[in-house]
Amino acid sequence: MTDISRQPLQDLLEALASESPTPGGGTAAAVAGAMGAALAGMVATLTLSREKYAAVHDAVRPMAEAAAAGRIELLAQARRDAEAYDGVVAARRLPRDTEEQKAARALAAAEATRHAAEVPMETARLAVRLLEMLPELVEKGNPNAASDAGAAALLLEAATEAALLNVGVNLSGAGDPEFVSRMQRETADIQVEAQRLRSHVLAAVRKRF
């Protein structure tokens, strides 16, 4: 698997547009989240680099650090998502000529599918945690970059929603009702929170215009 964090954008877009199932929507979700994290980092940097905002530097500095860490982790999630689905494909290709092989294949496929749901769930968790800091960043950050904070919120919400779609599509093959129920509850909670935060951020941004 190509290291997506070092892949030229054009190459990534061509890979996403190809007939290969990976990279797919989960990878795109994580990349969108990384872009949102990068924009949040830019807003923080444009605040920390201006002495006129010195009064809020102590509050904004941890946000800059969180944005930088989140960007790196979300790019790693982009790779992990593709790898996880490749694992599902590999499990489905296992032999099934005998009853033992069929049982082993079913077990491997269910395990791989659960992992393929867990990876985008972690992407959604990461994205919504970054969303949580944006209201304060809009409030305290450089007002000239307020629209960039709004764009970050939209990208992070998109990352969350897209990642959760990839969680959902994998749950049908998870083979574990308790796991499915837990993931569905978390999906609903994260989705509501992401939408709430995005609306909050955009309202705050528009007040800056």
Does 104 reside within a domain? Answer: yes
Q: What's the pLDDT score for residue 1?
A: 58
Burial class (CB in 10 A: 0-12, 13-18, 19+), 183: buried
13 in a structural domain: no
Supply the pLDDT for residue 4.
79
Is residue 5 in some structural domain? no
- How far apart, in Å, are the Cα atoms of 127 and each of 51, 152, 155, 173, 177? 30, 10, 9, 25, 26
Domain membership flag for residue 176: yes
pLDDT tens per residue across span 136-182 = 999 999 999 999 999 999 999 999 999 999 999 999 889 899 999 99
Which long-range contacts link 165-170 to residues 24+ away (Cβ below 8 Å)? 165/25, 166/24, 166/25, 166/26, 166/29, 166/81, 166/116, 166/117, 166/120, 167/117, 167/120, 167/121, 167/124, 170/88, 170/113, 170/114, 170/116, 170/117, 170/120
What is the structure's pLDDT at 114?
Answer: 96
Gap between the Cα atoms of 205 and 153, Å rounded: 10
pLDDT tens column, 108-124: 999 999 999 999 999 99
Between CA 180 and CA 106 the distance in angstroms is 17
Name the token pair of 136: 């304060």
pLDDT tens figures, 89-115: 999 999 999 999 999 999 999 999 999
**How many domains does the chain contain in total?**
1
Under the phi-then-psi rule, with left for phi > 0, alpha for psi from -120 to 50, and beta for the rest, what region is 109? alpha
Q: Is residue 177 part of a domain?
A: yes
Decide if 48 is inside a domain: yes
Q: What is the pTM of this model?
A: 0.94
Provide the domain limits for residue 194: 22-207
> What CATH code is carried by the domain that includes residue 66?
1.20.120.680
Domain assignment present for residue 32? The answer is yes
162 occurs within a structural domain: yes
CA 147 from centroid of its chain's CA atoms: 21
